[in-house]
Amino acid sequence: MRVLVFGDSNSWGYSPDGVGRRLERQVRWPGVFAQATGVELIEEALPGRTTRYDDPLMRPPAAYNGLAHFETILLSHTPVDVVLIMLGTNDLKNRFEPSSTKIAENLAVLAAVAQGCPCGGENWQTEQMPRVGVIVPPPLGSLAFDKAWPRYAEWSQGADVGQSLKSAVQARFSGSDIPVFAAADHIESSAIDPIHLDPQSHQILGSAVASWFNANFAR
């Protein structure tokens, strides 16, 4: 089974050590998940990626817009059996005027794109759609509420909004055929970098996602 993880820095494996080092494949959560399930993993993760916004402070701005490139990414990896979307953290930046309901709706748009993309067939001529799951990222860590944190002015609104993201996403997908996994039920963001996950959290998250995946997607 081929599983594509579409995410941001926390799926890419950005270490909370302040230097932007990428954690090793076997440490970051998608690798832990793949090892536990035996799936063929396709990692499509980009630090700074949003659900659907160009980022004016990144270069080039459009490169960080998840929606803008999503369908091309899916088609390029045909065949894809399952798509797992874990985005929303970067949408919490103040410049995107964050709200939990808006992020939830953006995730629903991405999920609909994946469900409608003919990338799941065994060959290029087979129009089969992949199955889709959504992983809600954890809220920002407690340091994001500290006005002394150097990046407080960039993330202060998102620190509050992130607290309600889990419930907003669960409500948006209630009654749908898209399973939702809430990372906040298992992990917290790093104490030294409130945006990113430490290696222990990656291990816990990967194992928990594997159990959820087996319950919802295993054939």
Using alpha carbons only, give the angle 18, 22, 23 rounded to the nearest 5 degrees: 105
Distance CA 96, CA 192 (A): 24
**137 and 114 Cβ atoms separated by less than 8 Å:** no
Residue 4 β-bridge partners: 42, 83
Q: Coil, strand or helix: which one is 167?
A: helix
Low-confidence ranges of the chain (pLDDT < 50): none
Please report which residue ranges of 13-164 form alpha helices under DSSP H: 29-37, 66-76, 100-115, 152-161
The pLDDT value recorded for residue 140 is: 98
Complete domains list, the chain, with CATH = 2-216 (3.40.50.1110)
The pLDDT value recorded for residue 20 is: 85
The pLDDT value recorded for residue 19 is: 86
- DSSP letter at 147 equals T
Q: Which amino acid is at 14?
A: Y
